[in-house]
Structure 1
Amino acid sequence: MDRVFRGDPELEPAYIAAAQRLVERGAVAMTASCGFSVRYQTAVAASVNVPVALSSLLLLPTLLHQLPPDAKIAVLVADSKCLSDDMLGVYNQAQRARIAIGGIEGGILWRNEMQRPPPPTEVPDIEKDVVACFARLQAEHTDIAAVLLECTGFPLVSTAIRRMTALPIYDIITVCRMTIASLS
């Protein structure tokens, strides 16, 4: 996981080969198990002839257009220190200023995912990490109007976060449902 977080360029051929094998076996769409896989999105999409959506971060430009121009979107990630601006797909500085980024680095889920093999993380522990992250962001950015969850472990708590915040919550499940619906 650490190599994906850091964006190891040596992983790109492995992503491409895995995608091609899956398509050969009948896959009709492609996703990934870490939102930081967005770094390999372009290469994987170019290598196969099926829809590829490796990260919920792909939604960010669209979500910004759905919100009022003075509203912000909270992007909650596994490790904010490993998230670079180029991964956001937002190149306009005014739009970039509307993105509040927070990470759970140092939290239970993050610590567990850094171990090999990673031990299971209990859902209440994930919720605690994500809630604390959102609370920090909300204290600093009172104009948050939506939340985008980057980590593929976060959908386990998206309903709780939605209930707590009363805001729209988007995650990799949102992306997968949209992609699969387009194939039906």
Structure 2
Amino acid sequence: MENVVRGDPKLEPAFIAAARRLVARGAVAISSTCGFSIRHQPAVATSVNVPVVLSSLLLLPALLRQTPPWGKIAVLTYDSTCWEDTLLGVDDRAERARIVLGGLEGSKFWHDELKRPTPPIDVIAIEKDLTGCIARLRADHPAIATILFECAAFPIVSAVIRRVTKLPVYDITDLCRLTMASLPS
């Protein structure tokens, strides 16, 4: 996971090979367990003949269009210190200015993910870490109107965060459900 977050380019052939193996075994769509996999989206999508949705960040262009023009979108990530603006896929400077980034680096969840073996996911810690990060972001950016979870571990608390913030919260499971619902039965 840490190699994916840090952007190790040597991983791309492994992503492609894994996608091809999955399709050969009958997969009808491909996703991933880390939003930072967006770096490999173009290569994997061109290597197989099924829908590929490696990151919830693919939702960002649509969210920018459905959020009011004055509204900001908070992108919550596992580690914002590894962030590159190219991950957003947003070239327009005005649209980029509407995106606020928050990370959980230094949090309990972040430290747990670095341990080997990785301990079981602490749902309470993720909820607490995300709630605190969102509160800090909203204090600095009161126009936040939408939240997008980059990290594939965050959907476990999406419903709670929706209730607490009273904001729409999107994650990789939303994108996967949309993708799977679009496939012929």
Q: Give TM class, smaller chain.
A: over 0.9
- Residue type of the alignment partner of 1:10: K
Residue 171 of structure 1: aligned partner: 171
- Superposition pairs of residues 152-163 of structure 1, within 5 angstroms: 152-163=152-163
SS at match of 1:5: helix
Residue 83 of structure 1: aligned partner: 83
Shift of residue 157 of structure 1? 0.5
> Which deviations, in whole Å up to 9, do the C-alpha atoms of 1:41-90 show, x marking residues without a partner?
00000100000000001100110000111110010000011121100010
Residue 19 of structure 1: aligned partner: 19
Shift of residue 121 of structure 1? 2.5
Residue 140 of structure 1: aligned partner: 140
Scaled by the length of structure 1, what TM-score is found?
0.98
CA contact (8 A) 1:108 1:121 kept: no
- Superposition pairs of residues 118-129 of structure 1, within 5 angstroms: 118-129=118-129
Which runs of 5 or more structure 1 residues have no equivalent in the other structure? none
- Superposition pairs of residues 1-184 of structure 1, within 5 angstroms: 1-184=1-184
CA contact (8 A) 1:73 1:147 kept: yes
Which runs of 5 or more structure 2 residues have no equivalent in the other structure? none
Scaled by the length of structure 2, what TM-score is found?
0.98
Cα distance in 2 between the residues matched to 1:159 and 1:171: 11
Cα distance in 1 between the residues matched to 2:136 and 2:126: 16
- Residue type of the alignment partner of 1:142: P
SS at match of 2:31: coil
Shift of residue 2 of structure 1? 1.3
Identity of aligned residues (%): 61
